[in-house]
A and B are shown apart, each in its own frame.
Chain A
Amino acid sequence: GAGVSQSPSNKVTEKGKDVELRCDPISGHTALYWYRQSLGQGLEFLIYFQGNSAPDKSGLPSDRFSAERTGGSVSTLTIQRTQQEDSAVYLCASSLSPTPSTDTQYFGPGTRLTVL
């Protein structure tokens, strides 16, 4: 079946503008994750959605970042008043299990965000 998809694949924006990044998880997967991968660095956890429970937002770097997941499926990551340090690849992943203990996360191809 289809994997995790993300759109857009590339986004160039000006400093101060808002951006929305979209993630379509694998159908039936209850858990959804957002990560940020900055140049030369590993993956930084941002937010985790588990079924209908309140999301774990502990990784969001500032209040300019927010995310929602509608209908337990598609998720949107919003960055308000973008800054140049927000430039990175934003990766989305989903997994079948509602607990992140052993379940494999399937990653999308990412959205490369460039803030000028």
Chain B
Amino acid sequence: AQSVTQLGSHVSVSEGALVLLRCNYSSSVPPYLFWYVQYPNQGLQLLLKYTSAATLVKGINGFEAEFKKSETSFHLTKPSAHMSDAAEYFCAVIRYGQNFVFGPGTRLSVLP
């Protein structure tokens, strides 16, 4: 069974600093990978997804993620954090014909 781990349940960065949220997956076959964001009291919104095309994926709001097969990672980054980025971020993995598996989430706080 595949699984997703997100290192750090809570990450704090200063406004303007680099955002790095970690995601590692376990799968014998490279899966499809997603990052979702959940703002307070809202549903999940897709940030970006990797579907075996380019390994560097650009998403909305300036976020991007790089698929590294050798490290089984799909870390999410943003060069400069904004206060509005404060939210919970979920990494998810799926293989063809199976269902989504979500990571436990990382809560991002942005300090002024």
Contact = CB atoms under 8 A, between A and B. Distances in A.
Interface of A: 4, 33, 35, 40-43, 45, 48, 56, 58-59, 91, 93, 99-102, 104-110
Contacts, number: 60
Nearest to A9: B41
B30 interface: no
Contact of A109 (B36, B43, B100, B103): B43
B100 A104 contact: no
Interface in B64-112: 90, 92, 94-105
Contact of B104 (A42, A48, A56, A105): A42
B99 A56 contact: yes
15 contacts: A4-B43, A40-B9, A42-B90, A42-B104, A43-B44, A43-B100, A45-B100, A48-B99, A91-B44, A93-B43, A101-B32, A101-B96, A105-B100, A109-B43, A110-B43
Main secondary structure of the interface of A (DSSP, over half): loop
A105 B46 contact: yes
A45 B99 contact: yes
Contact of B45 (A58, A102, A107): A107
A99 B104 contact: no
A51 to B, nearest CB: 14
A43 to B, nearest CB: 4
B102 A99 contact: no
A100 B31 CA distance: 12
Contact of A42 (B43, B46, B105): B105
Interface string B2-43: 000000010000000000000000000000101010000111
Contacts of A105: 44, 46, 100
